[in-house]
Amino acid sequence: MENASWGHLVRENPPLFHLSEVDSTQNWLKEKARTALDPGTAVFSDLQISGRGRPGNKWLHLPGNLAMSVWMPETPEGMTFPWTLLAAYSVLTVLEDRIGKSFGIKYPNDIYRTDSGMKVGGILVESHGGRGDLIGIGLNRKDPHVPDGGGITIPDRPLPPDPMTLPLLIQDRMMVCLSGELSHGEIWRFLDDRLLWRGDWVTWSEPGKNKMGKVLGLGERGHLRLLGTEGEGEVTLPVTVRSIRRITA
């Protein structure tokens, strides 16, 4: 199906749309979500000219990179994991199946290559008026910040060159997460095993103060476990903290 405003419908169930160019897939999906959308409706675009990152950053896009957004209902009752971690789980399982276990999660939203320690992808979750969430996923085959370098492409383990495979597979995994077929224990153990910066000291900001702690692991409900520095033992990173910084020697 082809329609000027909806682009090309790659598959109907769940709906996946393909655009050749867009300002931001988040904006596009937000606009479409003014009418009822099926859970898991997704869009990807060959070009994204005003992509958004966190917090309020621009997200640069080179041709061939993945820019996709998925519409999900508000985190359903009983689902303990936030969408950001379920999206990270979906992306990591797809990359591992295709490329191998070469990627990890930098809590809570970033996908890194474990060999180079470079960021190759990010997840941006935006709430849409209490009706649902827009889950934006950017993955770099080529890193816009590194000339000829970085990205998810590993020599000898190429990804299919077509632009459809990754969005189809990631959307499939997101639907599995939505269906509740997977136990939370399974998702938690998978992500905890791929958590980066374990044992490292990190800082973060809370209202009125900067805090510091040592990363211990991922908790069963998807929270970050840290060793505090004020004699309080193990602490949990507040869910309102969207970014941590590693302290380097």
Residue 54 lies near ligand BTN (rule: CB under 6 A): yes
Which of 34/157 has CB closer to ligand BTN? 34
Residue type, 97: D
Q: In the 3-class helix/strand/coil scheme, how is 175-188 assigned residue by residue?
A: HHHHHCCCCHHHHH
Q: Which stretch binds ligand BTN (CB under 6 A): 4-12, 67-75, 90-98, 234-242?
A: 67-75
- Contacting residue, 122, 167, 213, 222, with ligand BTN by CB under 6 A: 122
- Contacting residue, 37, 67, 174, 237, with ligand BTN by CB under 6 A: 67
Site for ligand BTN in 135-174 (CB under 6 A): 136-138
Give the nearest distance from C-beta 174 to ligand BTN in angstroms: 14
Q: Which two tokens stand for residue 40?
A: 């898991």
The sign of the dihedral angle between the CA atoms of 168, 170, 173, 175 is negative
**Number of neighbours of residue 243 by Cβ within 10 angstroms:** 14
Residue 104 lies near ligand BTN (rule: CB under 6 A): no
Residue 194 lies near ligand BTN (rule: CB under 6 A): no
From the list 42, 52, 30, 38, the residue with the least C-alpha distance to 129 is 30
- Rg for the chain (alpha carbons), in Å? 18
Q: Which two tokens stand for residue 113?
A: 């290559």
Residue 69 lies near ligand BTN (rule: CB under 6 A): yes
Phi, psi of 169 (to 5 degrees): -70, -40
Question: Which uninterrupted H or E stretch holds 89?
Answer: helix 83-98
- Contacting residue, 53, 64, 73, 219, with ligand BTN by CB under 6 A: 53
Which of 51/132 has CB closer to ligand BTN? 51
Contact positions vs ligand BTN (CB under 6 A): 24-26, 51-54, 57, 59, 67-69, 109-110, 122-124, 136-138
